[in-house]
């Protein structure tokens, strides 16, 4: 039987190490790898058929949802690897400019944020809303805009306004969608655990 230490007895650093170690361990299970492959196929399909581009710097799409499901189920490390692989695969399948590794960092950072907030934790609306807020702010508004400015040579302040508005609009929408999806997955997992006992 596994030994569990109460959260009160662990320091924050130990909790983080355990979280990242558990997430890395998820990659050893073949079923998890197969499921990541299915999520990847879903992400590619959503990227191909549901993405809407508004101007040169704004894109609305739903291909990030499989990434967030991976972060919830398998944690920050597996989620970051999945995010990087999917970013490269999507670019190979549907080239949208040249490859820039800076942009691959964005889904990795998003996975780390969501994995830390959601992995092995109860799904609550506040966890979802706060994680989505940090993803929108750090990854979409700051990092992505900064990398676009570096890549295009345009001033960051010239493109950050519309991107900020778009992310403010999408924040509650993505939060509601993610809460519904993660709650359904949590219930399904709870039902599967009951059947195995």
pLDDT digits (tens, 9 = 90+) for 109-163: 999 999 999 999 999 999 999 999 999 999 999 999 999 888 887 888 888 998 8
On whether residue 3 sits in a domain, the answer given is no
Q: Determine phi and psi for 18, rounding to 5 degrees.
A: -65, -40
How many independent structural domains does the chain possess? 1
Query: CATH number, domain at 165?
Result: 1.10.1760.20
Q: Which domain holds residue 96?
A: 10-196
Provide the whole-model pTM.
0.84
Q: Which residue has the tokens 């080239």?
A: 95
Model pLDDT, residue 1: 37
Q: Which residues contact 180 (CB under 8 A, 6 or more apart)?
A: none
Q: Determine phi and psi for 57, rounding to 5 degrees.
A: -120, 0
- pLDDT under 70 in the chain at which residues? 1-10, 51-60, 97-98, 193-197
Long-range contacts, stretch 60-64, CB < 8 angstroms, 24+ apart: 60/166, 60/170, 63/90, 64/107, 64/110
């Amino acid at each position: 039987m596994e030994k569990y230490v109460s959260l009160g007895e662990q320091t924050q650093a130990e909790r983080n190490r355990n979280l990242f170690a558990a997430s890395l361990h998820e990659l050893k299970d073949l079923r998890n790898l197969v499921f990541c492959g299915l999520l990847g196929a879903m992400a590619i399909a959503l990227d191909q058929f549901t993405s809407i581009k508004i101007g040169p710097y704004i894109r609305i799409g739903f291909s990030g949802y499989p990434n967030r499901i991976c972060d919830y189920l398998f944690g920050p490390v597996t989620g970051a690897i999945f995010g990087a692989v999917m970013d490269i695969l999507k670019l190979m399948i549907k080239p949208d400019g040249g490859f820039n590794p800076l942009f691959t960092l964005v889904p990795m950072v998003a996975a780390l944020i969501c994995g830390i907030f959601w992995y092995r934790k109860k799904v609550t609306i506040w966890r979802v809303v706060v994680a989505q807020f940090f993803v929108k702010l750090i990854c979409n508004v700051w990092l992505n805009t900064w990398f676009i400015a570096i890549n295009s040579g345009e001033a960051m302040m010239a493109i950050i306004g519309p991107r900020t508005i778009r992310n403010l609009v999408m924040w509650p929408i993505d939060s509601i969608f993610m809460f519904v999806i993660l709650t359904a997955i949590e219930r399904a997992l709870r039902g599967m655990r009951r059947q195995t006992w």
